[in-house]
Amino acid sequence: MKIAVTPLGVKGIEGLSANGADIFLIGNSSFGNRLVYSFSTIEITNANNLIKSLNKEIYIVMNYIVHNANIKSLKEFLDFVKELDVDGIIFGDLAVYQLAKKIGIEDKLIYSPETLNTNYYDPIFWSRQGIKGLTISKEITLEDIKQISKDKVLEISLIGHGHLNMFHSRRPLIENFFKYTNQEYKDYIENRNLRVVEEIRNESYPIFQDNHGTHIFRDKSLESFQEVNILNDYLDVFIIDGIFKDNRYLEEALKHYKELLNNKGDAKSISKLYEGNHDSGFLYKKTVYDK
Amino acid sequence: MIKPELLAPAGDLEKLKIAFIYGADAVFIGGKKFSLRARASNFDIPQIKEACDFAHNLDKKVYVTTNIIPHNENIEGLVEYLKDLEGAGVDAIICAAPVIIDTAKKETDLEIHISTQVSLTNYESVNFWYNQGVTRVVLARELNKYEIKELKDNTEADIEVFIHGGMCVSYSGRCTLSNNMTDRDANRGGCAHSCRWNYDIYDGETKLNDELSFSMSSKDLQTVKQISDLIDIGVHSLKIEGRMKSIHYIATVVSTYRKLIDDICDDYKIDLPKYLLEIKKAENRLTSHGFMEGMTTIDEQLYNMRSENPSQDFIGLVVDYDEDTFTATIQQRNRFVPGDYIEVFSPNFESMKFKVDEIIDEEGNAVDAARHPLQILKVFIPFKVSKYDMLRKIKQLS
């Protein structure tokens, strides 16, 4: 199982590489959602060169929802990505698949539509479309993750650590609320320090608005220290997403996972270090739907 | 100009019949399995067959939603269920998951429509599904009419567009607020509508709202003013949301759009205020045009209005009418008393009014008020009414 990380700029890459990262997830905010850092095309080129010189892999994150008006720029960006000869392209909208196929790079694609890859048939369907892999949805239990991954018909990835999102609206919800209450709103766009608290729940959900709309995240970050060795038997790629965190946090988490994968360190005591603002997400939590 | 299909929701057989009688060309219903809206009173297979028979006799159609995003545990029984739907005579299924789409293709000849749950927002993604053998797609509710036109101009797929009803605040299917906050899976029919709850918003530790809660809640969609454009674009099906809504809601909304679509296609003069006034009678939440005219503004959001106000104006459904005695038999739906002013509302979009005189119960006794839901009562109505006409309480006769 390879470990993928989200570096905070080109500068973060070498440190993460030294700590054992195998894959770097790099995106530009015009084409990617909820990125830890938006790389310009020059930075993407530089990152690509650096990552290759380190003998590591680069995946381009293009997980935005595509509207007709985006199709022209999407074509251009895919041409650029094709030239870079990257190792993978993470997408969430089928327009990316359609256009990538036209230029013959669908075999680089990894389908990550947030909520739609939920059962064992999804890898079968997507392998028939000739893509490289898929990312399992975030609300799936450990038992289901095992079943979805076991046939290995394509590369299976999972966000195993990080602050997961749970809502994406096209609406500018923050801007509209501040306009309604006659408050200046511009300071609150792209502001990642905002959070909402529901009136009867003692939980705090990060929220921000960007060009793609409004995003809301879980109250706690996910950690899988006690599960990483089980996941190692099933997954091809384990993603550590560093949104809302700094490079140091990312390196630390990466180091802990690598230790555990090398059978060093104690998972329970590492988990304990993250207690309070981390939890196990849906790994052991089944959702209900029929009452 | 092609006249689009008017597609209505139906939570049970009565609602389905009302939807057809009031002018729907097709209805969509949920079965007992694989359907979102788990709490709607969904149809079992014999009821689906009855629904299809009723529809087909009228030369109309029934679509069944199989639009959950299934987990492993949900897949068992899928083949048998899809074959049962085909056997019942269903005209199409509405799907979101590859496992359901492929199984339907392999095991049945069911027509497949792609659900709005996968949020199709551009013509390339629509064409992906068209190339997979899907005949129709339901577009994301996040599109404006110009985007819909561009999309329609670049695909061979039939396009279905939501024109009325509740809206997800998120891109449909891209939300797990409910899963995270209540353990209820939004994409398997358990949505708790957490996007409509009240929140406080903070920048770090500084609270940014005062007494007014931060709200994301959306007004319901209402597109009376955009129907003409959607017909010009060539949208194949115009869809009303709301399988959990009442018969009064369905009748009012369906008949208004029915009349509007017919008038536009027959080139009659369109009196928009008349349609707007009529559709407002079914309103239990404020409405707006959603994304139809462009990005949503504060006018498309609901602030400081958490509660819904179900209409109390609907007081009864006509079951029978005796022309010799001018006596209507009605089934009570909300309280009314002698002296109340009533509007009779019928599928032909015309309404007539009268004042309630005596109210007689089934034993022949005069009662001082119609109190009991579904009670059968007799009322004098001085003009002919028909079965399935509806009675609304109004303030005055003129």
State the ipTM, two decimals: 0.96
Q: Which of B217, B213, B211 is nearest to B198 (CA)?
A: B213
Confidence of residue A152 (pLDDT cuts 50, 70, 90): confident
Query: Which pLDDT score, from 0 to 100, does residue B305 have?
Result: 65
Residue B34: the pLDDT is 87
- Whether the per-residue pLDDT at A126 is higher than 80: the answer is yes
B290 neighbourhood in chain A, CB within 8 Å: none
The class of domain A2-163+220-279 in CATH terms is alpha beta
Distance CA(A15)–CA(A251), nearest Å, equals: 7
Chain-chain contact of A71 with B124 (C-beta, under 8 angstroms): yes
Would an 8 Å CB–CB cutoff place B174 in contact with chain A?
Answer: yes
Of A123-127, A286-290, B182-186, B335-339, the range with the lowest mean pLDDT is A286-290
Which residues are A217's β-sheet partners? A165
Q: What is the pLDDT of residue B41?
A: 64
pLDDT of residue B397: 76
Q: Is the dihedral of CA B348, B167, B152, B174 positive or negative?
A: negative
Sort out which chain B residues have CB atoms less than 8 A from A282's CB and list them: 179
CA distance A45 to chain B (A): 27
Integer Cα distance of A219 and A196 in angstroms: 10
Sort out which chain A residues have CB atoms less than 8 A from B289's CB and list them: none
Give the 3-state DSSP-derived string for B281-304, with helices as H, strands as E and coil as C.
CCCCCCEECCCCCCCCCHHHECCC
Record: contact A94-B96, CB cut-off 8 A:
no
Residue-wise pLDDT tens digits, A137-148: 999 999 999 999
Range of weakest confidence among A170-179, A224-233, B349-358: B349-358
DSSP state of B269: P
Instruction: Give tens-digit pLDDT for B45-104.
Output: 999 999 999 999 999 999 999 999 999 999 999 999 999 999 999 999 999 999 999 999
> How far is Cα A54 from Cα A22, in angstroms, rounded to an integer?
10
pLDDT > 90 in chain A, percent = 96
Rounded Cα–Cα distance for residues A143 and A120 (Å): 11
> CB-based contact (8 Å) between B125 and chain A?
yes
Distances from the Cα of A80 to the Cα of A7, A85, A132, angstroms: 21, 9, 19
Question: SS3 of B44, please?
Answer: coil
DSSP assignment letter at B35: -
Cβ contacts of B69 on chain A, cutoff 8 Å = 115-116, 118
pLDDT-derived band at A199, boundaries 50, 70, 90: confident
Say if the Cβ atoms of B175 and A170 lie within 8 Å. no
Set out the domains of chain B in order of their start, with CATH numbers. 5-300 (3.20.20.380), 314-394 (2.40.30.10)
- Chain segment A183-193, per-residue pLDDT in tens: 999 999 999 99
Q: Where are the domains of chain A?
A: 2-163+220-279, 173-210
Q: Which helix (H) or strand (E) holds A238?
A: strand A237-241
* Nearest CB to A197 within list B38, B202, B297: B202
Tokens coding B248: 């009064």
Residues of chain B with C-beta less than 8 angstroms from the C-beta of A146: none
Among residues B198, B118, B200, B194, the alpha carbon closest in space to that of B160 is found at B118
Query: How much is the mean pLDDT over chain A?
Result: 96
Average pLDDT per consecutive 10 residues, chain B (398 residues; last block may be shorter): 95 96 97 76 92 98 95 94 98 97 98 96 98 97 98 98 96 91 90 92 95 93 98 98 93 97 94 93 91 96 68 88 97 96 91 95 96 96 96 85
The three-state secondary structure class of B249 is helix
Amino acid at B249: Y
Contact B243, B30 (CB under 8 A): yes
Number of C-alpha atoms within 13 angstroms, CB side, residue B202? 12
pLDDT of residue B311: 60
CA distance linking residue A149 with residue A287, whole number of Å: 20
CB contact under 8 A, A170 and B298: no
Residue B166, class by beta-carbon neighbours within 10 Å (0-12 exposed, 13-18 middle, 19+ buried)? middle
Q: What pLDDT is attached to residue B283?
A: 86
Nearest Cα to Cα of residue A137 among B185, B121, B397: B185
Q: Classify residue A47 by its DSSP letter.
A: H
